[in-house]
């Protein structure tokens, strides 16, 4: 569900340590000495540091077996310095600014910094440890300062502005023109037009924020990893076998005897769905929703206030009414109001449905002869019972038809049918962990046009959720193929057992692979326009539309086969599974919107330092008559989307926005009567999957669909309005 989208290549490359080393030196002697020392150390570092050497590996993939933590800081030092030199050379060029000597030169600058950053930040998410966390704490603010120094480089901006202001007089291709426009906009949004003290303060804010984002996510991780719930023999007896086995695996991972539930969503959520022990459910539920808000050193309340205040200050400096106005200004939605309108349109029908779901659950509690109120920790448990009763879907039976390996095959099969690409596993390519698998992507001419890494299992040191990121973006200038990675957090099965996943897990797999294909199929002229470097409220569209193929009988009958017998999923089970698709959508939509509304409200608030985080959450939720049993999907103090970075800050609504696009978009295939309709697939490839940010998002969508998106299909898909005919 959650994607970690790295900055586009140029944005990562836009990085420059703010210090001027020569000016810092007190005397010429000091300067000479320090320069000499620096040269010596740099030379030594370059000679032995694999991060700075050419990667003589298949497709230039990262040589993980040679990379050690100790290589990162010296490599970053060298790469930052060389990027700074490259940028200085562009900015101080005496020649008149041209596309080639400015924009193209910027695209090509910072190659080392980009590849080192991508390797490093993938490790911080997927294979972190104390050493990596320490480097991350040091590097995040330095990289932010480096970025800021580039966007605030007045000479550089003057060149970009000159080109931007004379676009019509220049003979540029459509993508060259687009690159100029996007770069100009990125610079102005990053404060390039600021002057004097404002510039300095702006850079300071960027750097402080970067440090706070790291702190926020490390606090969440610390709280999440500190908690486990040990299960007794008696507790285990009531749980399905797959949960018992996962609990044994989780305990073994942590060198604990017996069985534990952890706060990874893949562990705690199934437990909440299946444990009849109401007290344990409450304990797990409270721990899960309290991450970051406990009375300990990991409390994120103050981190949130500081982040919000700095974001507001930054937005005001740029002339925006609020951070929300600033953020939505650069998206497909355009304004906070447009995003809020969409959420409101869906909220009331969703809430209505959630109330009906609550009534069903209350009836079951009464039927069990119990007289307690319906609480948050009851919802998932009874819902899975209602679900089991109404659709007769036993999660462990369903899971026996969803083998992870088969679902991986299915995601590749859909790509082949839609886009004509094939995937071959490679076992000769270095990975950062033995669980990671690598495939090459071949086009119709059997050329390798991409590398794909799949890192599917949860483990300590890996953050929660699922995401796509990249080790290298498609590069239309030098012909580099993209290197893309998907991360999920499925429970690793015990040795010798197959990995079985839930239907939801399989959807997540398809979702992330949709992002993956957006990177892999990219075919743009410039890395800054490649793949997922699109508007944030458009970026989920390729991922979410891809989920629809998993739901098609044509795919499930073929790939959802029993792990022991190989029998395809029985027709009646498939029918019930599909019918269950709209089930509990009231809850799912309400918990999502709760997070969306709170995210938006925070960033419209005028005085964030005064906020009492928990009271503010409650106030926002109550203002729309929220159901008390449905909290935010991600409560503020562990709302990584919003506070661990800026990807989804004031932008959590994007998932819903993309939901409108994906349901409306998939209708194109339904209308054609063929889920692989070649014409629709070609349009989807041309305007979306291969197009990156080569045109504005709305134009891309209209290019694919022939018209602007409509909300009808989403309301129908979620069962909030009657389907026609």
> Would you name the residues annotated as active-site residues?
512
Residue nearer to Zn ion on the CB measure, 264 or 466: 466
Query: Which one, of 26, 33, 142, lies nearest residue 41 by Cα?
Result: 33
Residue nearer to Zn ion on the CB measure, 3 or 176: 3
| Shortest separation between residue 47's beta carbon and Zn ion, angstroms | 41
| Shortest separation between residue 508's beta carbon and Zn ion, angstroms | 9
- The site for Zn ion, by CB under 5 A, has a size of 3
Q: Which residue is nearest to Zn ion (CB)?
A: 3
> How many whole angstroms separate alpha carbon 96 and alpha carbon 108?
19
Residue nearer to Zn ion on the CB measure, 110 or 516: 516
Beta-carbon-side half-sphere exposure of residue 577 (alpha carbons within 13 Å): 25
Residue nearer to Zn ion on the CB measure, 540 or 667: 540
Query: Residue 523: which residues within 8 A CB-CB, separation 6 or more?
Result: 474, 476, 690, 691, 692
The dihedral of CA 272, 717, 1, 443: what is its sign? positive
| Shortest separation between residue 634's beta carbon and Zn ion, angstroms | 14
| Shortest separation between residue 509's beta carbon and Zn ion, angstroms | 12
Query: Residue 687: which residues within 8 A CB-CB, separation 6 or more?
Result: 700, 701, 703, 704
| Shortest separation between residue 643's beta carbon and Zn ion, angstroms | 18
Query: Which one, of 50, 92, 46, 211, lies nearest residue 143 by Cα?
Result: 211
Residue with tokens 């159901």: 627
List own/partner pairs for 195-200 with CB under 8 A and 24 or more apart: 198/317, 199/152
| Shortest separation between residue 532's beta carbon and Zn ion, angstroms | 9
Q: Are 660 and 709 within 8 A, CB to CB?
A: yes
Residue nearer to Zn ion on the CB measure, 357 or 599: 599
| Shortest separation between residue 542's beta carbon and Zn ion, angstroms | 9
Residue with tokens 């090459």: 440
Q: Are 318 and 243 within 8 A, CB to CB?
A: no
Residue nearer to Zn ion on the CB measure, 483 or 543: 543
Cα 675 → chain centroid: 27
Residue nearer to Zn ion on the CB measure, 358 or 473: 473
Backbone angles phi and psi of 67, in degrees to 5: -90, 130
Q: Are 185 and 118 within 8 A, CB to CB?
A: no
User: Which segments of 127-190 does DSSP mark as H helices, in order?
Assistant: 130-151, 154-165, 174-189
510-549 residues in contact with Zn ion (CB under 5 A) are 540, 543
Query: Residue 176: which residues within 8 A CB-CB, separation 6 or more?
Result: 99, 103, 525
Residue nearer to Zn ion on the CB measure, 540 or 551: 540
Query: Residue 275: which residues within 8 A CB-CB, separation 6 or more?
Result: 235, 238, 239, 281, 284, 381
Bridge partners (DSSP) of residue 460 are: none
Pairing status of strand 483-490 against strand 448-457: parallel
| Shortest separation between residue 543's beta carbon and Zn ion, angstroms | 4
Binding span for Zn ion by CB under 5 A among 3-11, 82-90, 386-394, 487-495: 3-11
User: What is the token pair recorded at 109?
Assistant: 């600058």
| Shortest separation between residue 544's beta carbon and Zn ion, angstroms | 7
Does 8 bind Zn ion (CB under 5 A)? Our answer is: no
Looking at residue 103, what DSSP letter applies?
Answer: I
> How many whole angstroms separate alpha carbon 314 and alpha carbon 205?
7
> How many whole angstroms separate alpha carbon 503 and alpha carbon 396?
11
Does 3 bind Zn ion (CB under 5 A)? Our answer is: yes
377-406 residues in contact with Zn ion (CB under 5 A) are none
Residue nearer to Zn ion on the CB measure, 547 or 717: 547
| Shortest separation between residue 539's beta carbon and Zn ion, angstroms | 7
Cα pseudo-dihedral 162, 167, 170, 173, rounded to 10: 130
Rg (CA), the chain: 26
Residue nearer to Zn ion on the CB measure, 543 or 613: 543
> How many whole angstroms separate alpha carbon 676 and alpha carbon 549?
9
Residue nearer to Zn ion on the CB measure, 482 or 542: 542
Does 470 bind Zn ion (CB under 5 A)? Our answer is: no
Beta-carbon-side half-sphere exposure of residue 600 (alpha carbons within 13 Å): 23
User: What is the token pair recorded at 690?
Assistant: 């291969």
The dihedral of CA 644, 645, 648, 649: what is its sign? positive
User: Packing angle between helix 536-550 and helix 654-672, nearest 10 degrees?
Assistant: 40
User: Which segments of 25-129 does DSSP mark as H helices, in order?
Assistant: 28-48, 72-91, 105-108, 111-126
Query: Residue 434: which residues within 8 A CB-CB, separation 6 or more?
Result: none
Residue nearer to Zn ion on the CB measure, 3 or 584: 3
Residue with tokens 């793949």: 531
Bridge partners (DSSP) of residue 448 are: 442
Residue nearer to Zn ion on the CB measure, 543 or 598: 543
Query: Which one, of 432, 429, 430, lies nearest residue 128 by Cα?
Result: 432
| Shortest separation between residue 664's beta carbon and Zn ion, angstroms | 17
Backbone angles phi and psi of 105, in degrees to 5: -60, -40
| Shortest separation between residue 676's beta carbon and Zn ion, angstroms | 23
Residue with tokens 């995210």: 599
Query: Which one, of 103, 13, 317, 102, lies nearest residue 190 by Cα?
Result: 317
The footprint of Zn ion (CB under 5 A) covers 3, 540, 543
């Amino acid at each position: 569900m959650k994607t970690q989208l790295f900055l586009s290549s140029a944005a990562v490359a836009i990085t420059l340590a703010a210090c001027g080393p020569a000016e810092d030196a007190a005397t010429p002697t000091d300067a000479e000495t320090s320069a000499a020392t620096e040269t010596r150390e740099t030379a030594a570092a370059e000679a032995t540091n694999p991060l700075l050497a050419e990667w003589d590996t298949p497709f230039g993939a990262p040589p993980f077996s040679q990379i050690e933590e100790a290589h990162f800081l010296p490599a970053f030092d060298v790469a930052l310095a060389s990027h700074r030199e490259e940028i200085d050379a562009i900015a101080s060029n005496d020649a008149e600014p041209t596309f080639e000597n400015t924009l193209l030169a910027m695209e090509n600058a910072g190659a080392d910094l980009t590849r080192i950053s991508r390797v490093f930040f993938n490790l911080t998410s997927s294979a972190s440890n104390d050493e990596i966390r320490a480097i991350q704490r040091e590097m995040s603010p330095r990289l932010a300062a480096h970025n800021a120094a580039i966007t605030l480089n007045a000479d550089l901006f003057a060149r970009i502005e000159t080109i931007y202001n004379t676009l019509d007089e220049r003979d540029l291709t459509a993508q060259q023109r687009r690159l100029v426009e996007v770069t100009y906009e990125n610079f102005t949004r990053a404060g390039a037009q600021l002057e004097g003290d404002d510039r300095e303060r702006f850079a300071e804010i960027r750097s402080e924020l970067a440090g706070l984002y790291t702190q926020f996510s490390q606090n969440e991780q610390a709280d999440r990893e500190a908690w486990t719930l040990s299960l007794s023999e008696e507790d285990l007896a009531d749980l399905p076998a797959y949960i018992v086995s996962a609990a044994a695996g989780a305990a073994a991972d942590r060198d604990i005897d017996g069985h534990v539930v952890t706060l990874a969503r893949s562990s705690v959520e199934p437990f909440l769905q299946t444990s009849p022990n109401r007290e344990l459910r409450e304990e797990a539920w409270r721990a899960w929703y309290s991450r970051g808000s406990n009375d300990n050193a990991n409390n994120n309340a103050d981190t949130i206030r500081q982040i919000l205040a700095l974001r507001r200050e930054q937005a005001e400096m740029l002339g925006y009414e609020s951070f929300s106005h600033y953020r939505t200004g650069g998206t497909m939605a355009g304004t906070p109001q447009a995003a809020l309108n969409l959420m409101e349109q869906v909220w009331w029908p969703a809430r209505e449905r959630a109330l009906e779901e609550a009534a069903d659950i209350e009836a079951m509690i009464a039927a069990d002869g119990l007289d307690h109120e319906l609480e948050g920790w009851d919802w998932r448990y009874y819902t899975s019972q209602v679900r089991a009763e109404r659709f007769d879907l036993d999660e462990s039976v369903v899971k026996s038809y969803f083998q992870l390996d088969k679902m991986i095959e299915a995601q590749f099969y859909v790509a082949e049918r839609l886009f004509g690409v094939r995937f071959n596993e490679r076992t000769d390519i270095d990975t950062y962990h033995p669980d990671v698998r690598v495939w090459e992507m071949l086009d119709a001419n059997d050329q390798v046009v991409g590398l794909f890494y799949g890192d599917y299992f949860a483990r300590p040191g890996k953050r929660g959720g699922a995401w796509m990121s990249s080790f290298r973006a498609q590069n239309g200038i030098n012909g580099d193929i993209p290197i893309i990675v998907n991360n999920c957090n499925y429970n690793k099965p015990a040795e010798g057992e197959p990995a079985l996943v839930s239907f939801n897990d399989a959807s997540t797999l398809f979702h992330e692979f949709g992002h993956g294909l957006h990177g892999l199929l990219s075919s743009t002229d410039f890395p800054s326009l490649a793949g997922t470097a699109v508007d944030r409220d458009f970026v989920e569209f390729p991922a979410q539309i891809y989920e629809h193929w998993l739901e098609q009988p044509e795919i499930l009958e073929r790939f959802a086969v029993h792990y022991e017998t190989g029998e395809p999923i029985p027709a009646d089970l498939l029918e019930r599974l599909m019918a269950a698709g709209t089930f509990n959508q009231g809850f799912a939509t309400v918990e999502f919107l709760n997070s969306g509304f709170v995210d938006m409200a925070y960033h419209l608030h005028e005085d964030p330092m005064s906020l009492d985080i928990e009271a503010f959450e409650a106030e926002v939720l109550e203002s729309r008559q929220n159901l008390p049993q449905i909290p935010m999907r991600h409560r503020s103090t562990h709302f990584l989307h919003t506070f661990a970075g800026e990807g989804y800050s004031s932008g959590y609504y994007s998932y819903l926005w993309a939901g409108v696009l994906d349901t409306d978009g998939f209708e194109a295939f339904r209308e054609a009567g063929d889920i692989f309709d070649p014409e629709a697939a070609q349009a989807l490839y041309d305007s979306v999957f291969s197009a990156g940010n080569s045109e504005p998002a709305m134009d891309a969508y209209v290019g694919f669909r022939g018209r602007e998106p409509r909300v009808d299909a989403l309301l129908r898909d979620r069962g909030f309005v009657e389907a026609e005919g």
